[in-house]
Structure 1
Amino acid sequence: MSIGVDQQHRVLADACAVAGLDPRGAEPIRLGENAIFRLPGGVVARISRPGQLAAARKEVHVARWLAGQHVPAVRALDLPHQPVLVGERAVTFWEELPAHRHGTPAEVAQAIRRLHGLPIPDGVPLGKLDPFVRLAERIDTATTLTADDRMWLRGHLEDLRSRHAELPQGLPSCVVHGDAWVGNVVATEHETVLLDLERCAIGPPEWDLVSTTIKHTSFGWITSSDYQDFCRRYGHDVTTWPGFPLLRDIRELRMTCYVAQRAAQHPEARGEAQVRVDCLRGRAGSRPWAWTPAL
């Protein structure tokens, strides 16, 4: 859960004291479950939700490994204490990116193709991809939905888990980003950069491809031309794989549960949460659905 701004500043100050950084002049970039601050001197601090020390450690390890592979990605500061644990919250420190924008489908394809082509490393705590992480928790906290809708979502989740146990063979497993949407693949003036590395894992590369694919097939957010360019630059069209409908359904559920949980604290998200549930339950016709992107 999110904490108040004053408490976030206290956590930041305590972490900076350990890291030897000056928190004066810190400006919030994003405040939520994970709070992000900009510090003077080109430093960004990320405060995790409680209980995420292992995930924060993994993100720092992955960032340092990618730097060693010369892959453009967010860079962790070289500090003796990284991450810093303050209470139950892990705080990590990063180099601030220059001016950037969301990546295009073509840029996403090129970035994840490069990531997927890396050798699986030793000594980096990647773990196996879990496409269902936090979904049950998000459903339980989606209190603006009816009890019937939440019960249906729980049943849908269990059905997807059962189907996933028999996921068809696809491309060879590799290092995947885990959440490769255009907000996590950004473009600066000179390069395309991977952000938010906490979901990096070993898994099917199709999982990363589906994130962009459904923006065309499920929602019509990108054109056929953009999607074909995405496939060409990556070298594979995931919709030709028998496992695509399952990974599509899981990703759609993840997108629904994120907004449904958010709606509990942000009334402006309630309508979109209900639209998404209605679509999954077959109340709103067939794809492409009229979802509004949640950025």
Structure 2
Amino acid sequence: MAESLAGVASLADRAQQILHTACQTVGLDHRGAELLRLRSNAVYKLKDPIIVRIATAPTAAERLPAVLAVTRWLDQHGFPAVRPADHIADQPVMCTGVAVTFWDYVPCSDVPSTTSELGRLLRDLHAYPAPPISLRSLDDPLASLRANLRQHPESLTPGERDWLSHRINDLTEQWKQLPFAGPPALVHGDAWIDNLFRHHDGHVVLGDWDSVALGPREWDLIHSYHGQARFGLSQRDVDSFATAYGYDLRTWPGYEALQRIRDLYAVGIHIRNAHGDPFSRQELPRRMRSLIEGTTDRWHMKPT
């Protein structure tokens, strides 16, 4: 099993070490690399420019070959997805058990992407046939949370662990009863507005395909509605998303249950990273408190 980045004292320090080693392995210069994100992946931009993604999840090495294959397949079929840097052979590159991938850099405009654009891209994505690639089935979205709780119990108090364990079991049963419409589709798996990048020529590109799967379309849609509940998207943002997609998930009978599942899912990354990342240590108690108390407090995506 791959080693988790979060298994050391400092997530950022460990990521920097792996960046150095991975770049040496493929003949790239890591000097002056810019850290763009440190969450479910450590993401760096090299001067070349190339994007380097260092996986924090222990299961990444198993999933990433399919991620690379799907994004290549989508690019061949004209879908605006980020592209692997294919002049770097034999990805993912393994460094002391951690999986590293290299991607073409998207030179971004200052004009933000919109939820309307995200809705249209997801509508197009969900109309694609299943690609000729072995993909995981999204039949248990809380599986990763269950694993994080088992592997990192020290991130929570005993009372939080007990509450969360029971809540996972309850919502897993609710997931099994949801009235999903239509057969499984190709889903992005983390279809959040922050993963939509505007190229400087104006078109938008969808990134971060680590959670790609075959599963219910509703899972891709719920992220934007959850964004209004927790991360500051406006009513207008969500209405625009629904209009662009051509369907409003709020009319679906499973909507409230799926919101609860998505809400719970969102603590997993912070359980995994809490002892190696100061932001996760701060954010995890906030999220757990609001879940246990049933409040709709605003959550943070990055340090404030």
On whether the aligned pair clears a TM of 0.5, the verdict is yes
Preserved CA contact (<8 Å) 1:46 1:91: yes
Point out which structure has higher relative CO (alpha carbons under 8 A, 6+ apart): 2
TM-score by length of 2: 0.84
How far the C-alpha of 1:119 sits from its partner, in A, is: 1.5
Structure 1 residues 55-134: aligned runs within 5 Å: 55-78=63-86, 79-100=88-109, 103-122=113-132, 124-129=133-138, 130-134=140-144
- The SS at the match of 1:65 is helix
* Residue 207, structure 1, aligned to residue 219, structure 2: yes
Taking a change above 3 Å as real, the CA distance of residues 187 and 128 of structure 1, as seen in their structure-2 partners, is: same
Per-residue CA shift, 1:110-137, capped at 9, x if unaligned? 1211211111111x23221141132023
Corresponding residue of 2:43: 36
CA distance in 1, matches of 2:276, 2:298: 20
How far the C-alpha of 1:264 sits from its partner, in A, is: 4.2
Preserved CA contact (<8 Å) 1:142 1:263: no
Per-residue CA shift, 1:50-94, capped at 9, x if unaligned? 442122212211110111111111110113222212221111111
Corresponding residue of 1:46: 53
Preserved CA contact (<8 Å) 1:61 1:125: no
What is the identity percentage for the equivalent residue pairs of Structure 1 and Structure 2? 33
Runs of 4 or more above 6 Å deviation: none
* Residue 172, structure 1, aligned to residue 180, structure 2: no
How far the C-alpha of 1:210 sits from its partner, in A, is: 0.6
Taking a change above 3 Å as real, the CA distance of residues 278 and 55 of structure 1, as seen in their structure-2 partners, is: same
- The SS at the match of 1:183 is helix
Preserved CA contact (<8 Å) 2:120 2:244: yes
Matched length: 289
- The answer for unaligned runs of 5 or more in structure 2 is none
How far the C-alpha of 1:265 sits from its partner, in A, is: 4.4
One-letter code of the match for 1:168?
A: P
One-letter code of the match for 1:58?
A: A
The CA RMSD over aligned residues, in Å, is 2.6
TM-score by length of 1: 0.86
- The answer for unaligned runs of 5 or more in structure 1 is none
CA distance in 2, matches of 1:85, 1:275: 34
How far the C-alpha of 1:11 sits from its partner, in A, is: 3.0
Taking a change above 3 Å as real, the CA distance of residues 184 and 249 of structure 1, as seen in their structure-2 partners, is: same
- Which stretch of the first structure deviates more once superposed, 102-111 or 248-257? 102-111
